[in-house]
Structure 1
Amino acid sequence: MESAAYFGDVVRQISRAVDDEEDDVEFNESTLPVLRWCPSIRKQIEDGNRLTCSVLVVAVGAEAVGFCQAYLLPEDPEILGVFSTGMTNLDKNSFSQKADLDKTCYIHRIASSPEVLVVLCKSTVAPEQSFTWTEQLFENIKTENLYVTVLSSSLVTEYRSSRLVSELPTPFLRALRSTAYKAKPQSPFLESPNMVSGLPAAILNHCQIQSIAAVLYVSFVDSPHVDVDSMKVFQPVLSATPVKHLVQPGPEASDRLKKFVEVHLNTINLYT
């Protein structure tokens, strides 16, 4: 695998099952990720039939989520399931993924391409939850002939280079891939000694072990606040295998990016 040594550590934890109809679940600091499916998908899985999936896109962080909402998803995508990740009784959560503090990740299906799943994680999944999160997702989908694309972002101050950080043209994109992914990524590979950790690392590590074709793109940005440029940096991914085979975005994509930034800024003011 290209640069496989830089995945970081993934901590294994034990999962627990929670029924969709449990309305009074007590959340605490030790709560593990809980995956809930919509009734039809839950029945399908309970009958022993995993989801058919040829393309899985996982967006981690506001920049990646905004990009996917603007370029890959329709206005009202079908929601198949949701991850709840470690909510406590003190957490403020809009349960709509509009707030930066929302500890929820929604699994969407593209109606025009039913074998394409897009998972949006606007908030960061804790490193200690990443292994369980990844296991729960992949155990419910068929992985034969599956292509996985992971999008994530990191502050440029965390990027290690012989050049001064101030000299780097931000934002910029770097890539890692599993051995099974044979196509050339649409950006340079992430250089040593840079590292990828948390959920993106857990997903790529899982794909490497299970011989699943996967590519991870990391954008390095200079601000913790999302803007249009920090989302557009992922545009080369639209030409990458297998995303390039999806329906290409319409002219309204730029307007959707601007709307995402507006909502993002409003929720920062609301939840701070």
Structure 2
Amino acid sequence: MTAIPQRLAPRDFRKRLLARELLIGTFCKTPTSHATEILGSLGYDFVMLDEEHAPWTRQSLEVGFLGARAFNIAGLVRIARPDASSILSALDDGAIGVMVPHVSSVEKARNIASWARYKGGTRGSGVGRGGDYGGRPMQAHYEASDATTTVIAMIEDREAIEQIDDIVAVEGIDAFFLGRGDLGLSLSNATGPAPSVDEAVSIVAKAVVKSGKALCAVTQNMASDDAKKMLDLGVTGLMVASDHGLLRSGALAQLNHFRNLVKPG
């Protein structure tokens, strides 16, 4: 039986991310704990439960967070709605952090940073799984939560590129994710001059690295030139595909092996 690799506790994820430690994760689209448990047992650093583009509910997110805790992997959620309630429920239910789509203005960045933190912020007081069900004094809970909650802003809009230096300077945002798919769509819809996707990504990466914060991105294959390109840009929180993508690529590889195995000689 393969032993579960020994790693730092999931609550150290923010500290590791801010230190720009190289971390590997993936998106989880299927609303169960199974992929999270498997990835944790293999030694992945984090999973991003994708509420924005997959059928996660608050109840299934709770199961996902429980699986992450059981297998010593940081469980984060890409929230579907960028509002205070969505951030509050995710953190109270046990998320180590949140990733927020379409952070295209300084005001939005300040809001999500505020909604995610107690001290100096506007997060409502709660003691669910994220607060060990009241197992710590409230002041200790506030301090520990603020120290460990990770806030990642997705940069995926043309408007964000135009004010990126101000956005990355917002206190309380720990990392920025290069949302290259939606960024490409946004740039293609520009009515005036606009940078290419590669140019925009370079602008964002330079601003984030200069700010001292962490840079995150997703690639479809860690053996690809794209993965190397992301590392060269300064990405340290690198995600590979998703549970769907990993299942599809693994299943396709086995299907091809099968076809070769039974192919008439």
Larger RCO (alpha carbons 8 Å, 6+ apart)? 1
TM-score (norm 2): 0.33
Looking at secondary structure, tell me which structure has more helix per residue.
2
Looking at secondary structure, tell me which structure has more strand per residue.
1
